[in-house]
Copies of this chain bind each other. A is one copy, B any other.
Amino acid sequence: MITCVKCKLSSSVLKAGFVRGRQRFLCKTCDYHFTEEKPAGQLTERRRSQTTIGDVAKAVGVASSTVSRALNGHTDISPVTRQAILDVARQMDYHPNLLAQSLKSRETHTLGVIIPDIERPFFATVVSGIQSVASEAGYRVMICQSKESYETEVSNVQALVASRVDGLLICHSRETENFDHVKPAACRGVPVVHFDRVSNEVDSAKVILDDWNGAFNVTEHLIQQGARRIAILAGPESLLISRNRLAGYQHALKRYNLPLRPEYEVHIEFRTEEAVAALDKWLALPEPPDAIFAINYTNAFDLLVALKKRGLRVPDDIAVVGFGDEFMASMIEPGLTTVNLHPYRIGQQAARLFLEQVRQKEDFQPRTFVITGELVIRGSSLKGKGELFSLSI
């Protein structure tokens, strides 16, 4: 027999349909609807929850707002109460719920980082640099990989923004040509810092590396080692870094009155076969190069291997220089002369620019930070024998 939960009468109770699998009733006298008790097969499934600020408050016998004040070092609290709360909190193993705090404060203390590929040493080191600065400042880091896909990059940005990261540090994918997804409107106010592959379409803080100067320096070094016929293994012409490095190379040649030979400039997509093919083309020339500048470190290794197979000596027959990746360059013999791009510093600087932006808020003026690479000379370019080349200007 069903009784109304209000008037306790059972006489005027009518059935009133089903809702979510349970019988509903209507008491005519009370004009009140209600449903039958829950099946409650298993006993109430205790909420296996953490101790909250309320639990501590109850234990101490104060209001939760007081506990909050005690925990956050607020002023409006007496030393004795504070200490009592702190003791109980520790004893109850209380830990604040960062989610609730973030919901309230609108800050997650989390940084989103988007890179093409974490497996590339350059980016791994950048991430490491970012993390060193970020964790110092109390920020956690969430990492996404675009895998050089524009679509993935966009969805990464959206996911990070949806997670309410406090900032977005991004290096665009190779595919990316549209930058709407990192504009303020799309990011809903989340500060964005670009590094390495940047976009001038967006008015954001940027950290870039000085490709032009790096390429100039490494080319100049080859010239000073006695090289006169310097070839360059450049990347896709669409890539900004490729254009800049080529320009630096060309400028060095001009500076030292060496001719720019079109047959010495080859653009590839960084594939090994392409690098080897370019080398063979060069070797077949009436005047083969006596030095090669590979703007990508992988291709530099490709060249070293191919040269060895063809019985040519490095650097005596042909010197080789690369760009980036310190570790691997130092591990082989002869060591590969490269430009250290300081990826760790790039990461650190990007994170610092973010922190600056957070602290200055609207006053922040986006600025671009240039990291200059450092020429690291190793065996692959040290001709040694070479007559010293004197500046002829």
A162 close to B95 (CB less than 8 A): yes
Q: Which residues of B contact A142 (CB under 8 A)?
A: 110, 140-143
Question: What is the CA–CA distance of A125 and B119 in the complex, to the nearest angstrom?
Answer: 6
A128 close to B119 (CB less than 8 A): yes
| Chain A 135-158 interface mask (CB, 8 Å, partner B; 1/0) | 100001111110000000000000
Question: What is the CA–CA distance of A308 and B304 in the complex, to the nearest angstrom?
Answer: 15
Q: What's the number of copies of this chain in the assembled complex?
A: 2
B95 close to A99 (CB less than 8 A): no
Tell me the minimal C-beta distance from A186 to chain B in angstroms.
10
A124 close to B131 (CB less than 8 A): no
Select A164's contact among B48, B99, B125, B145, beta carbons within 8 Å. Answer: B99
Is A163 interfacial (CB-CB < 8 Å)?
yes
Is A83 interfacial (CB-CB < 8 Å)?
no
A residues engaging B (CB < 8 A)? Answer: 48-50, 95-100, 102-103, 106, 108, 110, 117-119, 121, 124-125, 127-128, 131, 135, 140-145, 159-164, 188-189, 298, 301-302, 304-305, 308-309, 328, 331-333
Question: What is the CA–CA distance of A124 and B331 in the complex, to the nearest angstrom?
Answer: 19
Q: Which residues of B contact A140 (CB under 8 A)?
A: 142, 144, 159-160, 163
B98 close to A331 (CB less than 8 A): no
Chain B residue at minimum C-beta to C-beta distance from A48: B189
A331 close to B328 (CB less than 8 A): yes
B124 close to A118 (CB less than 8 A): yes
Q: Which residues of B contact A98 (CB under 8 A)?
A: 162-164
The 6 closest A-B pairs by CB, nearest first: A305-B333, A99-B103, A301-B331, A119-B124, A124-B124, A308-B333
In the complex, besides A97-B103, A140-B163, 18 extra interface pairs with C-beta distance below 8 angstroms are A96-B162, A110-B142, A117-B128, A118-B128, A119-B121, A119-B124, A119-B125, A119-B128, A121-B121, A131-B144, A140-B159, A140-B160, A141-B144, A298-B331, A301-B332, A305-B332, A305-B333, A332-B332
Most buried by B among A99, A118, A135, A308: A99
Most buried by B among A49, A96, A121, A309: A121
Q: Which residues of B contact A333 (CB under 8 A)?
A: 304-305, 308-309
Chain B residue at minimum C-beta to C-beta distance from A19: B76
